[in-house]
Amino acid sequence: MPEGPSIVILKEEIEQSTNKKIISVAGNSKQDIQRLAGKKIISFKSWGKHFLICFKGFSVRIHFLLFGKYAVNDRKVNPPRLALLFKKGEINFYSCSVQFIEQDLDEVYDWSADVMNDSWNAKAAKKKLLEKPDVWVTDALLDQNIFAGVGNIIKNEVLYRTGIHPENKVGDLPIKKLNDLIKQARVYSFDFLEWKKAFVLRKHWKAHTKKICPKCGNAIVKKYLGKTNRRTFFCTSCQVLYS
């Protein structure tokens, strides 16, 4: 599943289609996608893992789920869920969810929860975390209402970077560590963005999918953890369990 920074890359890749008129629409989405024909795209936005195509009076939300893909001025073998054709160029979305949003996006989305957004608010994240002292940090980082855009890779790398064991409960973290966790959720997401753009993201993984801890040389543990039951990679000597 693409994490927040990957959606920002998509947004940058198709920014050039802003103000373009859609000449024709295709795709196997069950939504009334033909209403997009003849419409002009006003802007592209992202909120966490959601990609938003904005029109006058409504928006389209693309969610890539587990296996979603896209192609800009190119096509993949599978039939697209949604294909937008312009006079010059096209955008194709595959294996994703397509939904129309009729309300104002400011009513639907809390932009301050998106780690990639200029409106990101660390204090608001801290307040939400402190209201959930019994939640494991491994789940808290994946909570899209607190850290929209953070996915499993970012989770593993942020926990490693901050030296926090994934099985800590939020309420057991020293306040300095909690602040560090919140700060790095955003900082690492921007590192992810830069590295991914340069095609060197994997090279910088320290814990995710790794076998040996680059700091201490011990084995990296792999466990499916938390309510989210996601693959978690961590070092039991470098990442502290506070309880």
Measured from the CB of residue 220, what is the shortest distance to Zn ion in angstroms? Answer: 8
110 to each of 57, 96, 105, 152, how far by Cα in Å?
19, 22, 9, 21
Measured from the CB of residue 217, what is the shortest distance to Zn ion in angstroms? Answer: 7
Phi/psi at 236 (5° precision): -75, -15
Residue nearer to Zn ion on the CB measure, 1 or 219: 219
Helix intervals (H) in 30-99: none
Measured from the CB of residue 236, what is the shortest distance to Zn ion in angstroms? Answer: 8
Give the C-alpha separation, 142 to 167, whole Å. 14
Interface positions with Zn ion (CB under 5 A): 213, 215-216, 235, 237-238
Which residue has tokens 């506070």?
242
Residue nearer to Zn ion on the CB measure, 116 or 158: 158
Q: Is there a contact between 63 and 101 (Cβ–Cβ < 8 Å)?
A: no
Residue nearer to Zn ion on the CB measure, 53 or 238: 238
Q: Are strands 58-63 and 97-101 parallel, antiparallel or unpaired?
A: antiparallel
Residue nearer to Zn ion on the CB measure, 72 or 216: 216
Measured from the CB of residue 157, what is the shortest distance to Zn ion in angstroms? Answer: 14
Residue nearer to Zn ion on the CB measure, 38 or 214: 214
Tokens matching residue 205: 């993984």
92 to each of 44, 50, 195, how far by Cα in Å?
15, 16, 25
Measured from the CB of residue 138, what is the shortest distance to Zn ion in angstroms? Answer: 17
